[in-house]
Chain A
Amino acid sequence: MVEFPELFQVPLAEWVDAVMSWVLTNWGAAFDAVGDVILFALLRVEWLLLWLPWVVVVVGVGVVAWRAMRRWVAGLLMAGFLVLIGSFGHWDLAMMTLAIIFAAVMISLAIGIPTGIVMARSNSVEAIIRPVLDAMQTMPSFVYLIPALMLFGLGKVPAVFATIIYAVPPVIRLTNVGIRQVPSSVVEAARAFGSSSRQILFEVQLPLAVPSIMVGINQTTMMALAMVVIASMIGAKGLGMEVLLAINRIQIGKGFEAGLCIVLLAILIDRVTHALAARQEYAVTS
C-alpha cells in the first residue's frame, strides 16, 4: 500500500490529446486566422521599433514621459533608462520584448474594452464573466503557456497569445467597474433628454469610465510585461529569453544585465501609463 496502484489510472493526457487533435482538425482554420492576426500585428510593431533609429525612440519616450508626468527630470530619467539598456547591448532584444508587449496590449484592449462594456450593460453577462476572470487571476501565469503551445506550437504567436490571455482580465474588469460606477442620476439625466443607448455609452458612460479604464490599461500592460518574460520559455525572443539562457548557462552577470533591463522597462512603462491614467481625472472637455 505504499505505492499508488498501477491499475487505477486516468489517462487524462490521452483524452486531452484527443480533444486537441479534434479541435485542431475542426477548428484549425479559426486558430490559423487568430494566429495570422497576432502575427500581423506583432510583425508590424516589431518592424517599426527595430526600424526606428534608437535616438528617435529615446527622445520620443523622453518627451512622452515628460508630458505625461509634467516634470522634465522624469522625462530625462526615462530616456536615460533606454540609453542604459542600449549600453548593455540589449537594444534589439528590448525592442522585440516591447513589440510583443505592445501587440499583446493592443489586442487585449481590442478584446477587453468591448467585453467590459458588454459586461457592464448586462447583469447576467457579468455573472458569467466575473467568476471566469477571478479564476484566471488566481492561476499561475505559466499555466497559460499550455493551451498556447497546444494551439500554436512554439514561437512568437503562442507567446503573444498567452500574454493576451494572461493580461486581459484587468482591462475587462476595470472597464466594467468604470461604467458601473457612473452615478445612476447622471445616466438617468442623459436618458431623460432622449439619448439613445449608444449616446449614453459614448457621451456619458465611457468618458466617465476613462480614469478607471486607464488604470486597467496600466495593469494590463504590467501583466503583459510579466508574462512576456515567462513566454520566452515557449520561444519568444527578447529579454526574457536572454535571462533564461543566462540561467541555463549559469552566467550570473549576463542574467543580471538582462534582468535589470526588464526592470527598467517595467518602471518606464508603469510610470508613463500611470501618469497618463492619473491625468484623466482632471480632464473636462470643452
Chain B
Amino acid sequence: MQNNTPTPNGGVCVEVRELWKVFGANAEQLLRSDRRSATKESILEETGCVVALRDLSFEVQRGEFFVIMGLSGSGKSTLIRCVLRLVEPTAGRILINGEDVCAYDEAQLMELRRHTTSMVFQQFGLFPHRSVLDNVAYGLKVRGVEKEERYARAREVIGKVGLREWESYPPSALSGGMQQRVGIARALATEPEILLMDEPFSGLDPLIRRQMQDELVELQAEVQKTIVFVTHDLHEALKLGGRIAIMRDGEIIQIGTPEEVITAPGDAYVREFVQDASPAKVLTAGTIMEQPNVLLYEWQGPKAALHILKTTGLDNVFLVARRGRLLGLVTVDRLAELIKKKGTSVKQALEPDMLTCTTDMIVEDLFPLAASTTYPIAVVDDKGKFVGEIHISTVLSTMIQKKEEEQEEREEKEEKEAMKADG
C-alpha cells in the first residue's frame, strides 16, 4: 500500500546544486556581495530584494517520491518552478538526467518540458475554453502528435482517472476534485519521466483529498515516475513521501524519510512542526495497514480453505463476500473442527472475537483494541469493504516510539527540576 522506499532502479534524476533565487532588481549583484548571508528580512529592508531560495542542494533519485514540505511562503513553489525554469534561478545549477537545465536555450527548454517533465498545479491551470479531452491532449498537441493518436492516448488516461463520461465537458462543469483529476491526466498523457506537483490537493476538501492521495499512491506503484511533490501539510507529506525535504524561509532544514523526520527532527523548527505528529498520533490505520497474503472468499469450501491456510502456514485468515465485503475471521482450529462436524460453509468457522477499524482511525486509538486481541485487526472502508489488516506488532512498534519520546521528555523535566532543587 505505502510506497515509502525509493525504488532503487537507477541513479540521480534531478540534482539541484547551490540554487539561489532572489526576486528584485540587482539580485545578481546582491549574490556577489557578502550581504548574501544576511537574513531574509534585513536583505528585504536594505535592498528590496526577496530571497526566495537560499543555497539549496539536494538530489532526487529516479523513481523516488520526493516531497517538499514547508509553510506558506517558504519557497516551495519557487523551487519547483525553478526546476523547469518557469522561474529563472538567480544562481546555481539544476541537472536533469545529468544535463544542466540552466544552460539550455529556449528550444532545449521546450523540448525538456514537452518530453521529460509534466506539472500539476494547485489552481489546476486548466484551459477553460477547452473540453476535458482537449485539456488532457494538450501536451501531445504542442508536441505535434496527430489528432487521432493524441485523442486515443488522452482517452486512455481519462479512463484511468475515472472521467470517461466527462471528456466533452468544459472544466467548469466539473467539481474541484474532478478538475484536479483532469490536471493529473493532462500531466500523465505525455508519459513524462518526472512529475512535478505543486500542492495539487491543497484546494480540495479533506475527504476528496485523502481519496486522491490514495489514488496517487496506487498510480505511482503502477507507473513508477519520479515525483516531486510540494505540500504544506505534514500528514500528506508523511503519507506520500519516500523522502521529505523540509523548507523554511527558502532553506532546506532537513531531508529524510518520514520516520527520520518524525523520530529525529533536524532542529527546533522541525520538532515544532512534527510535535503533534508523534507517529501514533499522526499515522492512521490506513497508512500502517498491510495487504494480507491470502484472503478467503465465502464461496470457497471448508476443505479448500484449510488447504490454503496449511500451505501458506497461516493460523487465521479474513473471510470476504462478493465485492470484498468483510464477513469475519476464520482460524485453522475452527476450520478443522468444522470439517470434523461435516459443515459445508466456511461462514460457520468464524472467530467471534474479531476486531475491525476504519482506515482513518488514529493508531493511538487502535492501541486499546490491539491490547485486547491476539488476532490481526481488519481494516474496512466506510462501505464495509475489507481493505487491509493491521498486526498488533505494527501498532506496538509505532506506540513504542511515542513512549520513548515521552520518556525522554520526562527525564529532561526531572533533570531540570533536580537542577532547580540543587541551585
Contacts and interface: CB of A to CB of B under 8 A. Distances in A.
Contacts of A190: 127, 138, 142
Interface in A194-210: 194-196, 199, 203-204, 207-208
Contacts of B86: 188, 191-192
Interface size class of A (residues with CB under 8 A): 20 to 34
B66 interface: no
A208 B171 CA distance: 14
Given A189-B121, A189-B125, A193-B118, A284 B130 contact: yes
Nearest to A283: B129
B127 A204 contact: yes
Nearest to B189: A193
Nearest to A210: B129
Interface in B85-134: 86, 109-115, 117-119, 121, 123-131, 133-134
A9 interface: no
Nearest to B133: A286
**Residue from A188, A194, A195, A203 having most chain B Cβ neighbours under 10 A:** A194
B193 to A, nearest CB: 14
Contacts of A188: 86, 121, 125
A73 interface: no
B168 interface: yes
Interface string A132-163: 00000000000000000000000000000000
A191 B121 contact: no
Given A185-B121, A188-B86, A284-B170, A193 B129 contact: no
Nearest to B170: A284
Given A199-B142, A286-B168, A192 B123 contact: no
Given A189-B119, A199-B142, A286-B133, A194 B111 contact: yes
Given A193-B114, A193-B138, A196-B110, A285 B131 contact: yes
Nearest to B131: A286
Contact of B134 (A191, A193, A283, A285): A285
A193 B130 contact: no
Interface in B37-55: none
Given A186-B127, A208-B129, A286-B133, A192 B142 contact: no
A185 B121 CA distance: 8
A186 B126 CA distance: 6
Contacts of A199: 142
Interface in B158-198: 168, 170, 186, 190
A199 B134 CA distance: 14
A44 B117 CA distance: 52
B119 A186 contact: no
Contacts of B307: none
A193 B123 contact: no
B112 A194 contact: yes
B306 to A, nearest CB: 56
B131 A194 contact: no
B76 to A, nearest CB: 15
Nearest to A193: B139
**Residue from A188, A191, A283, A286 having most chain B Cβ neighbours under 10 A:** A286
B84 interface: yes
A234 to B, nearest CB: 43
A121 to B, nearest CB: 15
Contacts of B109: 194
Nearest to B143: A194
B142 A195 contact: yes
Given A185-B125, A193-B142, A284 B114 contact: no
A191 B118 CA distance: 11
A199 B186 CA distance: 17
A207 B131 CA distance: 13
Contacts of A191: 86, 113
Nearest to B169: A284
Nearest to B118: A193
Nearest to A186: B125
Contacts of A194: 109-115, 139, 142-143
A196 to B, nearest CB: 6
Contacts of A183: 123
Contacts of B113: 191-194
A197 to B, nearest CB: 9
Contacts of B124: 185
A284 B130 CA distance: 6
B128 A186 contact: yes
A166 to B, nearest CB: 32
B302 to A, nearest CB: 56
A280 to B, nearest CB: 10
Given A192-B119, A194-B139, A208-B129, 5 more contacts: A185-B124, A194-B115, A195-B110, A207-B129, A286-B134
18 contacts: A185-B124, A188-B86, A189-B125, A189-B126, A190-B142, A191-B113, A192-B86, A193-B113, A194-B109, A194-B143, A195-B110, A195-B142, A203-B138, A204-B127, A284-B131, A286-B130, A286-B131, A286-B134
